[in-house]
Structure formats: structure tokens, C-alpha cells
Amino acid sequence: MAVHARRRSRLGVGLMAAGVTAAFFFSSVFSQTLAAADVRVRDDAPVRYTVKSGDTLWDISGHFLHSPWLWPSVWRENPQIDNPHLIYPGDVLTLRDCDGSPCIGLERGQNVVKMSPEMRALPRREVITPLPMSVLQTFLRDHRIVDESEPLDELAYVIAGDNKRLISGAGDHIFARAAEASNLAALTSGESLGIFRPGEIYHDAEGKPLGMGLIGIGEGALISHEDDVARLRVQKAAQEVRNNDIILPLDTRLQAQDMVPRVPQHDVAGRIVGVSGGVRFIGRLQVVAIDLGTEDGLQPGHVLRIDQQGEQVVDPRTEELVKLPAETAGTLVIFRPYDKISYAIVMAATNTLAVGDAVRPPH
């Protein structure tokens, strides 16, 4: 498992401090012929677009570009602007001609100003984020992956409920035991911890296990600890808390500035190996697990295309089964890579996707 995954897997690891959410800016020029990438403006790009609450930079860029993940390639700093403007709901973006090249302007009040890709710390509620960060943060609070480098029996776990109850719920006290007493030293009273239960085991194409998914059962607050035993109060529970459930720090490290979409610099090829919720078919904004991770060079923000498996048909002459070629049917973005497996969010789906579909860098 990656170092960052190992660090958060122990009860004794404190919560990673949430960084400041960054706000992104558009540049004044959308170049159609950049050396870094083949950026193309859509034929149906609007002349004016009003930013709405809930928009992401991916959504906004998708109105103007064929490949929304290429927006960082078309940003260009505007040093002449001392106080660059942020993009807020209600702002109007205009597609204009700037010296023979298409550019995007921002209308706010009486002025039309150019926008730059600088970043500024803002309250979270004011920020137009690059991706649907609330969806990703919610998912990571309820899902985790561990692999063979960190066996389940080394993780902290529930040993009893108050008054020796076998099942506990919101408001109840529970006791958890850490693998090592020293792991409790970094924790502070009131700290929130996740309660998880083992879920699906993911495998690669050859059947080799890649890791086990953990499903969030609830959350608890640390009350006290003595030696290797901690007392927690269950704050909320989607299911009853049972003995042997796993206790882990909540994952709070996903930051908008880490999610700038980009294509991997090297060629990789894998497949979708699982989908949250156990559903069969996959659509936009659903989270999937793929059999590629940090060992394959993947990082948060990496964009991959999804190739739908070709159907099998019967040759009318030979009566043989023939598999049709795969077709590109979607796009996903990596947001939490582990050693051999990654969580990704589907940002576009032209057809219904499924476990087994191939993933690789866009053309």
C-alpha cells in the first residue's frame, strides 16, 4: 500500500489537516493550436454562458471545449491584472474574438475583464471547484481500500459496546483496541473516527487480489484511551455497529488544488474492477475502482478514457462467436490512488458502462 495510505490506516494517525480550497481562474485566450495539447473549441460553444450554483470548472469548460480536461493547457497568466476576478454563480462568460483567436471574457457590472489561473483562498461555499468535490469527499468518508501490505488484523477494531452489548448505535459508547498502545498517543479527545466493515475484494484480470474495500458504517468521537483500548461515542451510524468493525481516521485530505485534470505522461492500460453500491451498470458521476494505482504512475487528477467492451456476435456464415471492437464510451478522473488500485469518478458517459470496461489515456 502507498505510504499515504499506510499512514492513515492506523487508529493512532491523526487526521490530516484540510488544506485551503483553491479557486481557479480562466485565461483570456483559448488557443486552438497549442503545442502541449490539441485543444478544440466546440462548434456549438455558447456565445454567452451564465455560471450557475453547483457548476464545476469541468462543466463550464465542457460548454466551450471538446475535451474539458484540457482547460489548464489553455490558461495563461495575465500579469497586467492586479486583482484578478474569481468566477462566481451569476457571472457571465462570453466567447469573443481576440486578435483572431477565440477567448473567454467575464462580464461583471460595467466591465469586461480577463481572467487568470491564479489561486486565492476563499470560503468553500464561494468557490467554483474543478470537479464535484462534495461528491468525492462524501465518498471518501464512507469508503477505503486496504491491501496485503496492511492486514486487517493490524487495524484497530471494536471489541465491545457499553455494558458488553454486541450491537451499538448512535449515542452509544463503544470500546476499540489498537494494534499498539502508542498509536493512541497522537489522538485527542473529541476527534472523529470512521467505523468501517470489510466489503468487496478487488481482483485483476488474472484473479490476483488488488485490495479489499471497506464500507463506512458510521462515525465515532474519541472520549478517552488507556493503554491500547479507546472509548468512543458513536456519533452516527448508517448500520448497527458490531464487534470486530474497523476503526480508522476519517479521510479529509482531498483538496481542489490537487485535482487539476491532466493526461498521464506515460501509457497505461487497465480496466474497471468494481463500482460502489454493487450496481451492475455505471453512469456519470458514479465512482468506480480501476486496477491501476501509484505503482503504475497514477496520481489524483489523471484523466483516462473508458472503452466499452465490444459485444459478442455470431458470424452468420461460420457460426463462430466474434467479439466486436471496443468503443470509447466515457471519461473518468482519478481522485484517490492506492498502490495497485484507484478510485475514480466518471465525468462523461455516452453509453452505459460496466465492470470490465477498459481504461487508458485519451487519444
Within 8 A by CB and 6+ apart from 362, the residues are: 67, 69, 263, 303, 304, 305, 331
Do 179 and 267 lie in one domain? The reply is: no
Total number of domains in the chain: 3
Vertex 24: Cα angle to 20 and 26 (nearest 5): 170
> What's at 299, amino acid-wise?
Q
Do 314 and 355 lie in one domain? The reply is: yes
Looking at residues 315-337, what average pLDDT do you find? 92
Do 163 and 209 lie in one domain? The reply is: yes
Looking at residues 283-298, what average pLDDT do you find? 95
Please name the helix (run of DSSP H) or strand (run of DSSP E) that holds residue 144, with its range, or none.
strand 143-146
In a domain, 24, yes or no: no
Which DSSP category does 219 fall into? E
Do 200 and 100 lie in one domain? The reply is: no
Between 360 and 184, the higher pLDDT residue:
360
Residue with cell 480577463: 114
Do 161 and 186 lie in one domain? The reply is: yes
Q: Which one of 65, 100, 126 terminates a domain? A: 126
Looking at residues 270-291, what average pLDDT do you find? 89
**Residue of 261, 254, 341 whose CA lies nearest to 8:** 254
The 10 Å Cβ neighbour count of residue 108 is 14
pLDDT tier at 108, thresholds 50, 70, 90: low
Q: Which one of 126, 151, 186 terminates a domain? A: 126
Between 185 and 311, the higher pLDDT residue:
311
- Is residue 216 pLDDT above 70, yes or no? yes
pLDDT tier at 190, thresholds 50, 70, 90: confident
For residues 41 and 95, give the distance between their C-alpha atoms in angstroms, rounded to a whole number. 10
Within 8 A by CB and 6+ apart from 3, the residues are: none
Confidence at residue 357, expressed as pLDDT on a 0 to 100 scale: 94
In a domain, 151, yes or no: yes
Do 268 and 245 lie in one domain? The reply is: no
Evaluate whether 213 touches 143 at the Cβ level (below 8 Å): yes
Confidence at residue 100, expressed as pLDDT on a 0 to 100 scale: 64
Looking at residues 265-292, what average pLDDT do you find? 90
The fraction of the chain above a pLDDT of 70, given in percent, is 75
In a domain, 34, yes or no: no
For residues 73 and 186, give the distance between their C-alpha atoms in angstroms, rounded to a whole number. 42
Do 294 and 157 lie in one domain? The reply is: no
In a domain, 25, yes or no: no
- Is residue 112 pLDDT above 60, yes or no? no
Within 8 A by CB and 6+ apart from 179, the residues are: 10, 11, 154, 155, 156, 228
For residues 330 and 327, give the distance between their C-alpha atoms in angstroms, rounded to a whole number. 9
Looking at residues 300-324, what average pLDDT do you find? 92
In a domain, 7, yes or no: yes
- The pTM for the full model equals 0.76
Looking at residues 88-101, what average pLDDT do you find? 74
Q: Which one of 100, 126, 152 terminates a domain? A: 126
Q: Each residue of 46-79: pLDDT tens digit?
A: 988 898 888 888 888 889 888 888 776 544 433 3
Least confident of 41-55, 179-193, 234-248, 323-337: 179-193
Angstrom distances, CA of residue 69 to CA of 14, 25, 111, 185, 193:
34, 14, 29, 43, 34
Domain of residue 69: give its range.
48-126
